[in-house]
Structure 1
């Protein structure tokens, strides 16, 4: 009869289940390619400098190292909780001296003993607590992998922003040289009465404007080098990051997006949310099982004497069993069950939101890449037309058929379009990096960051 009651109570306790996200079954993504994303997604760019930078960051970045320590702490908590399933054994020793001796024969009290206790996990309450901490430890590891993934995308983005800023700086230096040559040319024509003084002033104004743009790009280069150094775990003033590349890599083919359900299994941030939900589920199970009686046993043994020579001649022990059943706690246990149930539901909706966000990030990146490609092609067509217009206006100006103002405006537009094309190429590359981040799963790190 007792065994039947125990079985029924244990059957009513919540069991561990694989909880699905509370979202509708997703359809396939809007676009897909054929290229499989490698585990280390950044190798698709075939940039040895980028590979070196990311490998260095994964071993030296301070934030990543701090996150790894969180993983170690979570694993230690898991081991601590698992210890509750084992007997707890302690040893004790005590000696005291009493004066005057007449109050205590021999004047000394020497004790040496041990104690042990053990709680039978009849309903799985302790196992539920152990499982909860195991899920939290795994969630902490997924958080570490998410941090590593984000770090790799930050390094790639900032590195190519740095390359682009250096390209812009090289281009604007060429434009400054061109504008300065034109100023000299107009001054020569002004001396022969072929142009007006205002044309010289306008060209000088364009020259100064271009020099001001150069200052902005010089600032960008320095700031990006500082950001990159900090991500690499280095002081920015010590070793400025050298810029070896003078061009952006060719955009790899569009990667295969796969099925949305595969994305749920791959992305570490989604896995983290799922494991936090499973941990909350086990917390609720522990709270439910706290309603049931607890059975524990204990044992003590002790040697005691008034002299060291007689310490091991006599000893005593005791064995005890204890059962505790909650009868009236003023609603405390019910409130704890309600609290853990609410937290579980909170984690369930957080998990669902994380899944939806992962889908949106993929869709956003796919759409942005398509539109950015169209925009870049449009900018290149505009640049070709502007070059033709500029050449024609220069010819007309030399023969007196056009005002220099038209030439100046066309020149300014051409120079701006050249800078816009470089910026658009950088944006296109950043969108692809975002797509890799949205689609990529976790990757193995040989040596966790330990600066």
Structure 2
């Protein structure tokens, strides 16, 4: 009868873990979707072997990612520590004392040895709730690691494509410099025959110097990106020299976005926020169960003697049961429950905000990619028109129908459009990287594949 009453109290008074829903309204499907499935290692969609090698190396060598993994290891250690509370604590006690003058302490207990054990009965599930809280925190820490790995792979991909773009910009600028130098030689020859003004030569020289200035800028950015990539790989910049051999890849087919609820179950940052809510819920359960009585047992066995020879002949045993019930704490326990409930609600709202942010990131990436494709089409049409205009103006100039200033302005516009298109294509790849990062889930790394993990 008594056991039935206790069991009823346990199951009726202890708060249970419930499913957590984000406090947001029902969501509709994403604006765009494709048909291509996203591979676990999404960067392989670009079919760039050099990029694959760089990311594989960074996932092993990057120091920030290694630090995040150690944070997860610390969370695992905390979990093991909390689980030890389910077992009795057993201690070995040994004591030796020498008293002077000896005759004054005849019959004194100078040697002592024994064992002591203590165990708390988890009657209301308070200890298990604390363990569950640490389990959810450990899972959240693991998803932190997965999110950091995802961010790192995206950073390296973006940096790599920027590096390829600036290398192509540098090659293009060198060709433009050669073109401008050749034009200067031609117009100087026409100047000697009186067919062109001196100011036209000066203007063409200005364009040449402007192109050389662009070259210096691209050379600087190329070196800075190499340094950035080296740090992402966990190496000193001065120890690593990267000479990219790849070209900018073609944009892969648009991936399938899936349902919004699938995104919630897939993204590591969303799962991290979800587990923080569950951990806060279990902390609240601990605070509630702290209001209930605690039952514990202490067992000790001791042997005492005046010499080592007789130390283990006589033993004394003690078994004690303890019942501790909160009686008057001035509202402290109630306040702790209110505090943990507020923290749980805080984590719930943060989880909802994380879900909203994830939806927005997908929508933003889809819209940006779509509009960037349209912009590239416009730029390509503008470049085509600029090339035709430049060709026509050169013919008119040679026939004395146009001023050289018109040719110069057209040439400058054409060269700038060539650079703009390269930059626009690189931006399009960055939007696709963002889309992959927002849609993809966590992936396995060398650390998570290890037998120890």
- Once the 2 structures are TM-superposed, how far is the Cα of residue 3 of structure 1 from its aligned partner? 3.5
User: Which stretch has the larger CA shift, 378-387 or 308-317?
Assistant: 308-317
Structure 1 Cα separation of the partners of residues 448 and 264 of structure 2? 25
Structure 2 Cα separation of the partners of residues 427 and 269 of structure 1? 25
Counterpart of 1:90 in 2: which secondary structure? strand
Structure 2 Cα separation of the partners of residues 343 and 390 of structure 1? 67
Equivalent residues of 1:107, 1:306 under 8 A apart:
yes
Structure 1 Cα separation of the partners of residues 109 and 335 of structure 2? 52
Counterpart of 2:237 in 1: which secondary structure? coil
Structure 1 Cα separation of the partners of residues 97 and 178 of structure 2? 94
Counterpart of 1:241 in 2: which secondary structure? coil
Q: State the TM-score, normalizing by the size of structure 2.
A: 0.97
Q: Partner residue of 1:105?
A: 106
Equivalent residues of 2:109, 2:304 under 8 A apart:
no
Count of aligned pairs between the two proteins: 449
- Does residue 369 in structure 1 map to residue 381 in structure 2? no
* Structure 1 residues 244-255: aligned runs within 5 Å: 244-245=245-246, 247-255=247-255
Q: Partner residue of 1:343?
A: 343
Structure 2 Cα separation of the partners of residues 104 and 359 of structure 1? 80
CA RMSD of aligned residues (A): 1.3
Q: Partner residue of 1:378?
A: 378
Equivalent residues of 1:153, 1:437 under 8 A apart:
yes
- Once the 2 structures are TM-superposed, how far is the Cα of residue 4 of structure 1 from its aligned partner? 4.7
User: Which stretch has the larger CA shift, 233-242 or 389-398?
Assistant: 233-242
Counterpart of 1:302 in 2: which secondary structure? strand
Alpha-carbon displacement from aligned partner over 1:401-429 (angstroms, at most 9, x marks no partner): 00000000000000000000000000000
Alpha carbons of 1:449 and 1:234: their partners in 2 closer, same or farther (altered >3 Å)?
Answer: farther
Equivalent residues of 1:97, 1:108 under 8 A apart:
no
Counterpart of 1:217 in 2: which secondary structure? helix
User: Which stretch has the larger CA shift, 18-27 or 126-135?
Assistant: 18-27
Q: Partner residue of 1:285?
A: 285
Q: Partner residue of 2:48?
A: 47
- Once the 2 structures are TM-superposed, how far is the Cα of residue 106 of structure 1 from its aligned partner? 6.8
Q: Partner residue of 2:236?
A: 235
Structure 2 Cα separation of the partners of residues 12 and 88 of structure 1? 28
Counterpart of 2:438 in 1: which secondary structure? helix
Q: Partner residue of 2:435?
A: 435
Counterpart of 1:237 in 2: which secondary structure? helix
Equivalent residues of 2:277, 2:344 under 8 A apart:
yes
Structure 1 Cα separation of the partners of residues 332 and 56 of structure 2? 52
Q: State the TM-score, normalizing by the size of structure 1.
A: 0.98
Structure 2 Cα separation of the partners of residues 19 and 8 of structure 1? 26
- Once the 2 structures are TM-superposed, how far is the Cα of residue 241 of structure 1 from its aligned partner? 1.7
- Once the 2 structures are TM-superposed, how far is the Cα of residue 103 of structure 1 from its aligned partner? 1.9
Counterpart of 1:326 in 2: which secondary structure? coil
* Structure 1 residues 387-402: aligned runs within 5 Å: 387-402=387-402
Q: Partner residue of 1:223?
A: 224
Structure 2 Cα separation of the partners of residues 89 and 417 of structure 1? 78
Q: Partner residue of 1:139?
A: 140
